[in-house]
C-alpha cells in the first residue's frame, strides 16, 4: 500500500488562525457575522464558516449596511474602509495580521517622506489594496523584473513587498532597481513564517514519489508554494479538494506527500490523505 504523509509545517499561518478564531468566537455567541471579503483564500474553509453564520460581503455592500458588526480579515484594509465603518456605525472586529499592519505603517511613513512607493505584489490582491490605500492610491504595483524599466527614478524610491511573495524574486527586483538609482531603499517585508516554508517544502517534496499540493485557486501564496514543490519534484499536482485527484497520477508510486498553502486548513489536507488511502485500499 502507498505511504501517505502530511507536511505538519503546512496549513494556516498565525494571521489566518487569529482571524478564524475571532470569527468563530463571535459566531458562537451571536450566530451571524459579516466578513469583508473571503476570510481566507480557500473556498472549502469559507464554506465551513458560512454554515456557522459567516456572511461574506464586498466593499460595495459595506457602504450599504449600518449598525452591525464586520470582521476585517488578516489581509488588512485601506484607511477608507475604517472611515466608511465610522460613518455607518459599524463595529469592526479587526483581525488584520500584525505583520501586515507593520508593513502598512512603514509604507505610510515612506509616502509621508515623499518617496516613490513601489510594491512588489499581485494587483488587486486585498493586502496590496490595503497598502496602496496608505499612499492615497499613489503607490506603483509591479509583478515582474521587467517592470522596473517603467519606473520613475527622479526622486527617492522605497520598494516594499506583499508579505506572501517570493523572497528570491524580491531581491532580484531590488538588485535591478539599485542599478537604476542610488536613491533606492529595499524593504524586505515578506513574512518569514511564509518565506521559510519554501526551503522546508523543497526538503519535504524530495522525500516522496508524488506530491499533492492542496490550496484554493485564489491563493497567491498557494501558487508560489506549488511552484516551489514542482521545482524539485516534477510529479507535483495542484488540487483545491480531494475529488480533483486523478488516481492515475499515483500509478507506480510508493509514497505520496501532501502539503498546502498558508491558507489551506489542516482538516482539508487530512481529508485529502484519507481520500487517497480509501481509494488505495
> Quick check: 280 pLDDT over 80?
no
The helix or strand, by DSSP H or E, that contains position 93, with its residue range, turns out to be strand 91-94
Q: Active site includes 28? A: no
For the domain 99-190, what is the CATH code?
3.40.1010.20
> Quick check: 243 pLDDT over 70?
yes
Is residue 166 very low, low, confident or very high in pLDDT (cuts 50, 70, 90)?
A: confident
Lowest-pLDDT range, 80-89, 177-186, 188-197?
188-197
Q: Average pLDDT in the 21-29 region?
A: 96
> Quick check: 281 pLDDT over 80?
no
CB atoms inside a 10 Å sphere around CB 139: 21
Distance spanning both ends of the chain, measured CA to CA: 7
Could you please state the CATH topology (level 3) that the domain comprising 3-11+194-280 is classified under: Cobalt-precorrin-4 Transmethylase; domain 1 (3.40.1010)
Phi, psi for 191 (deg, rounded to 5): -65, 125
> If you count DSSP H runs as helices and E runs as strands, how many of each does the chain have, helices first?
11, 12
Choices 3.40.50.11270, 3.30.1330.10, 3.30.465.10, 3.30.2010.10: CATH for 14-96: 3.40.50.11270
Is residue 122 very low, low, confident or very high in pLDDT (cuts 50, 70, 90)?
A: very high
Cite the residue boundaries of each domain of the chain with CATH code 3.40.1010.20: 3-11+194-280, 99-190
CB-based contacts of 6, cutoff 8 Å, min separation 6: 257, 258, 259, 266, 269, 270, 273
pLDDT in tens, 71-119: 999 999 999 999 999 999 999 999 999 999 999 999 999 999 999 999 9
Is residue 189 very low, low, confident or very high in pLDDT (cuts 50, 70, 90)?
A: very high
DSSP state of 171: H
Three cell numbers, residue 148: 522596473
Residues 127, 138, 144, 182: which is the catalytic one?
127
pLDDT in tens, 42-59: 999 999 999 999 999 999
Cite the residue boundaries of each domain of the chain with CATH code 3.40.50.11270: 14-96
Amino acid at each position: 500500500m502507498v505511504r501517505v504523509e502530511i507536511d505538519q509545517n503546512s496549513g494556516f499561518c498565525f494571521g489566518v488562525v487569529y482571524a478564524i478564531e475571532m470569527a468563530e468566537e463571535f459566531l458562537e455567541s451571536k450566530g451571524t457575522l459579516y466578513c469583508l471579503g473571503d476570510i481566507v483564500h480557500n473556498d472549502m474553509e469559507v464554506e465551513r464558516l458560512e454554515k456557522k453564520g459567516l456572511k461574506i460581503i464586498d466593499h460595495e455592500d459595506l457602504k450599504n449596511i449600518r449598525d452591525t458588526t464586520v470582521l476585517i480579515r488578516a489581509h488588512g484594509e485601506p484607511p477608507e474602509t475604517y472611515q466608511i465603518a465610522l460613518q455607518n456605525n459599524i463595529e469592526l472586529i479587526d483581525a488584520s495580521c500584525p505583520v501586515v499592519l507593520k508593513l502598512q505603517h512603514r509604507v505610510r511613513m515612506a509616502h509621508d517622506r515623499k518617496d516613490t512607493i513601489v510594491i512588489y505584489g499581485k494587483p488587486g490582491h486585498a493586502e496590496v489594496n490595503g497598502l496602496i490605500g496608505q499612499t492615497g492610491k499613489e503607490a506603483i504595483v509591479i509583478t515582474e523584473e521587467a517592470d522596473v524599466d517603467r519606473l520613475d527614478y527622479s526622486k527617492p524610491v522605497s520598494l516594499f513587498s506583499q508579505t506572501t511573495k517570493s523572497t528570491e524574486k524580491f531581491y532580484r527586483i531590488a538588485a535591478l532597481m539599485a542599478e537604476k538609482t542610488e536613491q533606492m531603499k529595499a524593504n524586505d517585508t515578506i513574512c518569514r513564517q511564509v518565506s521559510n516554508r519554501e526551503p522546508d517544502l523543497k526538503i519535504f517534496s524530495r522525500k516522496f514519489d508524488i506530491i499533492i499540493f492542496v490550496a484554493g485557486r485564489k491563493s497567491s501564496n498557494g501558487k508560489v508554494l506549488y511552484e516551489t514543490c514542482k521545482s524539485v519534484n516534477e510529479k507535483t499536482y495542484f488540487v483545491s479538494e480531494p475529488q480533483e485527484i486523478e488516481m492515475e497520477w499515483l500509478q507506480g508510486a510508493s509514497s505520496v506527500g501532501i502539503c498546502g498553502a498558508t491558507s489551506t486548513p489542516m482538516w482539508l489536507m487530512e481529508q485529502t490523505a484519507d481520500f487517497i488511502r480509501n481509494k488505495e485500499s
